């Protein structure tokens, strides 16, 4: 089985290349190979590569910058997904597309289920939600994996930032009113491999289990690496950023567990393993 990973140089994409189960031909491409915002280029690439599965890990992921670069965000996160879906339809490939908890507003205290209504707060969230809709209007046979709080060795992320800041400062301030399930890209890659193998249809929420605030996550990181720096909890209001984030960005993975008969391990266990392997 030939699987094409689009966005293979990114944080998730690089772990997908490394951690999809063996026994299949995995090909990775990124923007230098073809730009998903170009419909013709995208179709031509897929016609040439002839994958059975396309996994889309490409996106415009700079959440704050999306507020200013609205057009680019929609071009990649909506237009790019549409182009991939059209190309997949043409060559009869299956598409697994990666989306985000930022499609929700986070104004609840109950983990989101797949059928809950999106209500994004940011341009990034809107562009990702519209990408999901565009894909669903084109393809019947698709998988959308919504995830959140990603970290892995191949990218800029919260965990790497905290480790770095702990080396440079005695005091760190971190928001304590945003709940997430920090998710290791290696665990997510393996879960995506399982979904591709089983080939179910529709939307799946996939994150490491349990949840915490970013402040609690930062405390765990500092404790694990033996840092003497202090973490001070602050509110999102105090940490004023261009894009609003969902306060409760926690996803219910019940459908994933039911279909795959596997459970994502707790975020803390995955995080400690990641920190040990760094
Ligand atoms: N990071 C998170 O916390 C998080 C949370 C929830 C969901 N997600 C979703 O998970 C997926 C992977 O995220 P990530 O953090 O691994 O992203 P990433 O590290 O930013 O990687 C995205 C990759 O896509 C490439 N790309 C951008 N525009 C492209 C285009 N027009 N054509 C082809 N390739 C293009 C990027 O290339 P350049 O670097 O050259 O631009 C980059 O290699 C995304 O769908 C994201 O929305 C991420």
User: Does 23 score more than 90 pLDDT?
Assistant: no
pLDDT in tens, 35-55: 999 999 999 999 999 999 999
Per-residue pLDDT band at 22 (split at 50, 70, 90)? confident
**Is the Cβ atom of 181 under 6 angstroms away from ligand 1?**
no
User: Does 21 score more than 90 pLDDT?
Assistant: no
User: Does 90 score more than 90 pLDDT?
Assistant: yes
Pocket test for ligand 1, best of 5, 6, 7 (most atoms within 8 A of CB): 7
**Is the Cβ atom of 146 under 6 angstroms away from ligand 1?**
no
Using the mean position of ligand 1's atoms as its centre, give its distance from the Cα of residue 230 in Å.
Answer: 32
Using the mean position of ligand 1's atoms as its centre, give its distance from the Cα of residue 58 in Å.
Answer: 4
pLDDT in tens, 181-228: 999 999 999 999 999 999 999 999 999 999 999 999 999 999 999 999
DSSP state of 15: H
Burial (CB count within 10 angstroms: exposed 0-12, middle 13-18, buried 19+), residue 170: exposed
Average pLDDT score over the chain: 97
pLDDT in tens, 68-80: 999 999 999 999 9
DSSP state of 255: H
User: Does 4 score more than 90 pLDDT?
Assistant: yes
Specify the pLDDT at position 240: 87
User: Does 82 score more than 90 pLDDT?
Assistant: yes
In this structure, the residue with its CA closest to atom 38 of ligand 1 is: 31
Specify the pLDDT at position 155: 85
Burial (CB count within 10 angstroms: exposed 0-12, middle 13-18, buried 19+), residue 172: buried
Do 18 and 189 contact (CB within 8 A), yes or no?
A: yes
User: Does 264 score more than 90 pLDDT?
Assistant: yes
| The dihedral sign for the CA sequence 70, 75, 76, 77 | positive
pTM: 0.97
Compute the distance between CA of residue 229 and CA of residue 170 in angstroms, rounded to an integer. 4
Using the mean position of ligand 1's atoms as its centre, give its distance from the Cα of residue 57 in Å.
Answer: 6
User: Does 266 score more than 90 pLDDT?
Assistant: yes
User: Does 163 score more than 90 pLDDT?
Assistant: yes
Compute the distance between CA of residue 17 and CA of residue 240 in angstroms, rounded to an integer. 36
Q: How many residues does the chain have?
A: 278
**Is the Cβ atom of 118 under 6 angstroms away from ligand 1?**
no
Compute the distance between CA of residue 21 and CA of residue 17 in angstroms, rounded to an integer. 9
Specify the pLDDT at position 278: 86
Do 222 and 237 contact (CB within 8 A), yes or no?
A: no
């Amino acid at each position: 089985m030939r699987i094409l990973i689009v966005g293979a140089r990114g944080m998730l994409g690089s772990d997908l290349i490394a951690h999809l189960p063996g026994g299949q031909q995995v090909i990775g491409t990124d923007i230098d190979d073809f730009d998903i915002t170009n419909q013709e280029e995208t179709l031509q690439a897929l016609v040439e590569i002839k994958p059975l599965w396309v996994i889309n890990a490409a996106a415009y992921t700079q959440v704050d910058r999306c507020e200013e670069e609205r057009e680019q965000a929609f071009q990649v996160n909506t237009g790019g997904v549409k182009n991939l879906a059209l190309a997949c339809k043409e060559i009869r490939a299956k598409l697994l597309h990666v989306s985000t908890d930022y499609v929700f507003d986070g104004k609840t205290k109950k983990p989101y289920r797949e059928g809950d209504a999106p209500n994004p707060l940011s341009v990034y969230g809107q562009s990702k939600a519209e990408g999901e809709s565009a894909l669903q209007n084109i393809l019947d046979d698709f998988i959308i994996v919504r995830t959140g709080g990603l970290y892995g060795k191949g990218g800029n992320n919260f965990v790497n930032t905290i480790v770095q800041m702990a080396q440079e400062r005695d005091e760190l301030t971190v928001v304590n009113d945003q709940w997430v399930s920090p998710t290791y890209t290696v665990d997510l890659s393996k879960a995506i491999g399982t979904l591709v193998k089983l080939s179910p249809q529709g939307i799946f929420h996939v994150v490491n289990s349990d949840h915490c605030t970013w402040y609690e996550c930062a405390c765990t990181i500092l404790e694990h690496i033996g840092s003497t720096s202090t973490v001070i909890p602050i509110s999102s209001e105090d940490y004023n950023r261009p894009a609003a984030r969902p306060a409760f960005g926690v996803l219910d993975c019940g459908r994933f567990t039911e279909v795959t008969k596997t459970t994502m391990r707790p975020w803390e266990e995955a995080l400690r393993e990641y920190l040990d392997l760094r």
